[in-house]
């Protein structure tokens, strides 16, 4: 079964991709996760793994953020509710999880960024927020309620008193409860707020969306490295032309020279391919391999047992972690 259900990929790309949300019930009903919440917490103990712990606060201290790596005692001291553990790039540490990308073969593989996993206790949330990238949210275990808001941008008011980018006075326009196997696609800029109804785990398949300013900065470094040494030149001048101010002629001439520098399809194609496929954690690639993963997943974290988050069994009744 396609992750898009009965929706043809062509229609999804034409009508939904980077335009509007899409909910697909049972999109991955047959998917069995290769990692559970306790193993996810085990990964969060490691120095090399990027992890975060978000606690839902109150009006005085809303949404507290802590960065990993964590210690086993950090998890033992957690309350029974209102917290979320997030671990980035789990597909690097659990290669079997990377097979999930095959379900999204209607999109270019090089556009993907990573698979983030979040495990939440009941009431756990990272607050109403928006991202500037496309994401597929796959409910693996338990249930999470999603409220969807309007399009947001840099002018959207944010809540003060927290390190997180929380939308102030969030107003939902739609609401969905996702269970195991359900999928929610969100385009860039759409406000959303997910709250765990019970102990649950969600995978977020994110797609790269770098800042254009960062792309230009990287391209400038590339041009310099390849020896492009063309200098700025003036347009045709006349005496006292623009003596005390910059005439628009100079601005247009500078723009023309820059555009001529970029008018090199071979150079742009080579740079773009390397830029968009650069590994997220390049320093890890030389040391990451399956045997190292096994040492993480099988390690005794707490009294000879896998690290226990204390939330009990969250798999569905047919014993499949979807």
* Residue-wise pLDDT tens digits, 49-88: 999 999 987 666 788 999 999 999 999 999 999 999 999 9
Residues of the chain with pLDDT under 50: 290-306, 312-322
pLDDT given for residue 288 in this prediction: 59
Residue 69's closest CA among 34, 37, 41, 38? 41
Q: 106-121: string of b/e by CB count within 10 Å (b at 16+)?
A: ebeeeebbbbbbbbbb
Domain 9-209 in this protein, CATH class: mainly beta
Measured distance CA(296)–CA(301) in Å, rounded: 9
Dihedral (CA of 67, 69, 73, 75) sign: positive
pTM: 0.87
Cite the beta strand spans of the chain per DSSP E. 22-24, 51-55, 64-67, 83-87, 112-120, 135-141, 144-151, 174-178, 183-186, 190-196, 200-207
Q: What are phi and psi of 92, to 5 degrees?
A: -75, -40
Q: Where in the chain is the domain with CATH 2.60.120.650?
A: 9-209
């Amino acid at each position: 079964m396609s992750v898009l259900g009965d929706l043809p990929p062509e229609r999804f790309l034409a009508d939904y991709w980077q335009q509007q949300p899409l909910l697909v019930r049972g999109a991955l009903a047959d998917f069995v996760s290769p990692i559970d919440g306790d193993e996810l917490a085990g990964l969060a103990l490691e120095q090399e793994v990027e992890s975060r712990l978000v606690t839902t606060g109150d009006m005085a201290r809303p949404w507290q953020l802590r960065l990993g790596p964590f210690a086993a005692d950090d998890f033992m001291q957690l309350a029974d509710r209102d917290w979320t553990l997030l671990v980035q790039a789990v597909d690097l540490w659990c290669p079997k999880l990377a097979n999930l990308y095959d379900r999204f073969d209607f999109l270019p593989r090089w556009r993907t960024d990573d698979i983030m996993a979040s495990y939440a206790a009941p009431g756990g949330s990272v607050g109403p927020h928006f991202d500037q990238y496309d994401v597929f949210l796959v409910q693996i275990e338990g249930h999470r309620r999603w409220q969807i808001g309007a399009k947001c941008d840099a002018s959207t008011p944010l809540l003060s008193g927290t390190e997180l980018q929380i939308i102030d006075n969030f107003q939902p326009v739609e609401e969905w409860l996702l269970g195991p196997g359900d999928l929610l696609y969100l385009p860039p800029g759409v406000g959303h707020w997910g709250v765990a109804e019970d102990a649950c785990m969600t995978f977020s398949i994110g797609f790269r969306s770098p800042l254009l300013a960062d792309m230009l900065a990287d391209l400038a470094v590339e041009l310099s490295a390849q020896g492009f040494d063309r200098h700025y030149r003036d347009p045709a001048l006349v005496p006292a032309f623009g003596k005390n101010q910059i005439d628009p002629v100079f601005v247009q001439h500078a723009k023309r020279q820059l555009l001529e520098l970029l008018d090199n399809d071979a150079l742009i194609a080579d740079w773009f391919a390397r830029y968009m496929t650069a590994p997220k954690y390049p320093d890890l690639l030389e040391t990451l391999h399956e045997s190292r993963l096994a040492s993480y997943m099988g390690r005794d974290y707490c009294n000879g047992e896998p690290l226990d988050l204390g939330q009990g069994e969250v798999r569905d009744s047919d014993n499949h972690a979807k």
